[in-house]
Amino acid sequence: MSDEKMDGSGHVGRDRIPLVIDRSRWYRGLGEIGSALLRKIDGKMCCLGFASLASGADPGEIMNVGAPDGSVFERLVPEGMRVGYTESRYVETTSPIPGERIVALLMVLNDKEWPGHCRGWSSIREWEAAKEEMVAAGLCLLGFDVEFVDVQPGPHRPVSILTQRSFRILDNMV
């Protein structure tokens, strides 16, 4: 845990990693079929694909891969946020929200299609803006400082440190 530290939100993490998500290359809202960390066919990525590259993954490691695992997952999720068996011993997370849960929620949120007017979203533009805020919140908890670039779907402010309450809102929306 040499490069890990407590950030201002009380989460165990590492140095913050700047992350730019280019909306023109962001594959989202089209359901889970066809989604990948990095799609070979068109070079588009899900939110975790952008984060995987920012945390040091090689494009070949994530090409046409549906979910981060192995060394990609280890670079994506700080050690203090992982839970499970490592080197034949059980590891308890020191984070209030396990990294595995954050990654799973981000996968669902990234691929979730616009629910339409029935859930209170007046337009797809409003849904996309809310989705960006929720994705940024989840990635922030993993130690990323997120910025979206390209065509603006709505107002966005960079997210740096969020509380556990903010993530509960994300958890309840997906």
Q: How far is CA 47 from CA 61, 132, 136, in A?
A: 16, 10, 9
Three-state SS for 22?
Answer: strand
- Quote the CA–CA distance of 42 and 142 in Å, as a whole number: 27
pLDDT interval class at 150 (50, 70, 90) = confident
% the chain with pLDDT above 70:
64
Task: Say what the pLDDT of residue 97 is.
Answer: 67
* Close Cβ partners of 171 (under 8 Å, ≥ 6 residues apart): 105
pLDDT value, residue 95 = 54
Mean pLDDT of 8-14: 48
Tokens of 58: 């090689």
Burial 16-47 (b: 16+ CB within 10 A, else e): ebebebeeebbbbbeeeeebbbbbeeeebbbb
Look at 80 and 61; give whichever has higher pLDDT. Answer: 61
46-78 per-position pLDDT tens digit: 999 999 999 999 999 999 999 888 888 888 887
What is the C-alpha to C-alpha distance for residues 61 and 58, in angstroms, rounded to an integer?
5
- pLDDT for res 37: 93
Q: Which segment of 18-22, 50-54, 148-152 scores lowest on mean pLDDT?
A: 148-152
Q: Is the pLDDT of residue 164 over 70?
A: no
Q: Look at residue 19 in the predicted model and tell me its pLDDT.
A: 94
Examine the pLDDT at 157 and tell me if it is beyond 60.
no
The C-alpha R_g of the chain, in whole angstroms, comes to: 16
